[in-house]
């Protein structure tokens, strides 16, 4: 008996896939379901609003049933596992083990995946339909307690999975199924030059991500523009026509909440305020007029001449 248990554990270790691959397969399955749901919602976008919301649990159940039919029922693997070269097999002792799922496990998988998910999503509506009967209220309290226990069991199962590497979901542990590679995995040949280059690049990228927020880009840009572009000294005039209020001196667009800073040019409030907050010595990019103080930034009053 002990020898059979040891052989069973050795077989699991030899044929099971990496933890990250198992989690990636589950993530791909969830993403594919959301993708199909998004396409279905887009197909009904021109119908009466809320036409799908009334039967949302049933729609999700039908989508899960279709995914199960074209994945588990056909090849014994989910769509995510097929993308990662995996399929399910049972974890029975060596003499009773098969290379793929039998029909019993496939049907139980559909029942737990589709039926339980549908009941969970529809339970709130069903509880309202049953009214305030004490008998049904007791039943729904038991169901709510069972749902909480399942969540706790799922958390414990995931922690055990991180330690042992088997059964990433509670469903797989209940059914006693584990994934294995459908085809032998080839050995990855990664040269040290490639690994070193990737490590250096990632280290340099992380250094840049740390350094860039500490650099005042606005101030550096303003200094370069003043030193190299050679803007003239400020003219200090406040007279402007309506035509001069149609373009921001920074972004070149129609000014949003027009502001002035003592020269004849007009700025968007955000363009002027953000540059002054980043660089207290900010000057007008067109005439070189300095802001000097935040009180000099005021709304523009344009007049027709």
CATH of the domain at 251: 3.30.40
Residue at 198 is within a domain: no
126 and 225 part of one domain: no
Q: What pLDDT shows up at residue 187?
A: 61
Q: What pLDDT shows up at residue 243?
A: 62
Cβ neighbours around 269 below 10 Å, total: 16
174 and 221 part of one domain: no
Last residue of a domain, one of 128, 159, 181: 181
Q: What pLDDT shows up at residue 11?
A: 47
Q: What pLDDT shows up at residue 64?
A: 92
Residue at 209 is within a domain: no
Q: What pLDDT shows up at residue 253?
A: 82
99 and 226 part of one domain: no
Residue at 279 is within a domain: yes
169 and 225 part of one domain: no
61 and 14 part of one domain: yes
Range of the domain at 99: 2-181
Cβ neighbours around 107 below 10 Å, total: 14
Local structure of residue 182 (DSSP, 8 states): S
232 and 105 part of one domain: no
Residue at 191 is within a domain: no
171 and 275 part of one domain: no
How many whole angstroms separate alpha carbon 133 and alpha carbon 139? 10
96 and 243 part of one domain: no
Residue at 65 is within a domain: yes
Residue at 212 is within a domain: no
How many whole angstroms separate alpha carbon 249 and alpha carbon 268? 8
177 and 221 part of one domain: no
List % helix, strand, coil for the chain (3-state, nearest 5).
60, 5, 35
pLDDT tens by residue, the chain, 305 residues: 555 545 555 445 445 678 888 899 999 999 999 999 999 888 888 787 777 778 888 888 999 999 999 999 888 889 998 888 888 887 655 455 556 778 888 899 999 888 888 888 887 777 766 666 667 777 778 888 888 999 999 999 999 998 888 889 998 988 888 888 877 766 666 567 777 888 888 888 888 888 877 777 767 776 676 666 554 444 444 445 566 677 888 887 878 888 888 777 888 888 888 888 877 777 787 777 777 677 778 887 666 55
130 and 266 part of one domain: no
166 and 66 part of one domain: yes
Q: At what angle do helices 217-224 and 269-278 cross, to 10 degrees?
A: 90
Q: What is the tally of structural domains in the chain?
A: 2
12 and 125 part of one domain: yes
């Amino acid at each position: 008996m002990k020898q059979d248990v040891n052989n069973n554990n050795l077989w699991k270790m030899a044929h099971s896939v990496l933890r990250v691959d198992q989690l990636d397969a589950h993530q791909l399955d969830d993403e594919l379901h959301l993708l199909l749901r998004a396409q279905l919602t887009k197909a009904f976008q021109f119908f009466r609003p809320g036409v799908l919301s009334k039967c949302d649990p049933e729609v999700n159940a039908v989508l899960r049933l279709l995914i199960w039919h074209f994945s588990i029922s056909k090849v014994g693997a989910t769509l995510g596992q097929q993308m990662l070269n995996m399929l399910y097999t049972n974890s029975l002792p060596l003499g009773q083990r098969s290379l793929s799922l039998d029909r019993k496990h496939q049907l139980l998988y559909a029942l737990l995946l589709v039926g339980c998910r549908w009941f969970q999503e529809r339970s709130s509506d069903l509880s309202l339909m049953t009214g305030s009967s004490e008998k049904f209220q007791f039943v729904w309290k038991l169901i709510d307690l069972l749902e909480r226990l399942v969540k706790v069991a799922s958390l414990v199962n995931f922690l055990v999975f991180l330690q042992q590497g088997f059964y990433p979901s509670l469903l797989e542990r209940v059914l006693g199924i584990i994934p294995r590679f459908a085809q032998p995995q080839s050995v990855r040949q990664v040269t040290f030059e490639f690994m070193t280059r990737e490590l250096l690049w990632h280290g340099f990228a992380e250094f840049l991500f740390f350094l860039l927020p500490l650099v005042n880009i606005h101030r550096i840009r303003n200094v370069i523009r003043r030193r190299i572009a050679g803007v003239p000294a400020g003219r200090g005039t406040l007279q402007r026509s309506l035509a001069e209020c149609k373009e921001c001196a920074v972004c070149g667009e129609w000014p949003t909440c027009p502001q002035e800073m003592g020269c004849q040019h007009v700025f968007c409030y955000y363009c002027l305020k953000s540059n002054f907050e980043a660089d207290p010595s900010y000057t007008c990019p067109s005439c070189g007029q300095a802001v000097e103080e935040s009180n000099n930034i005021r709304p523009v009053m344009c007049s027709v001449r």
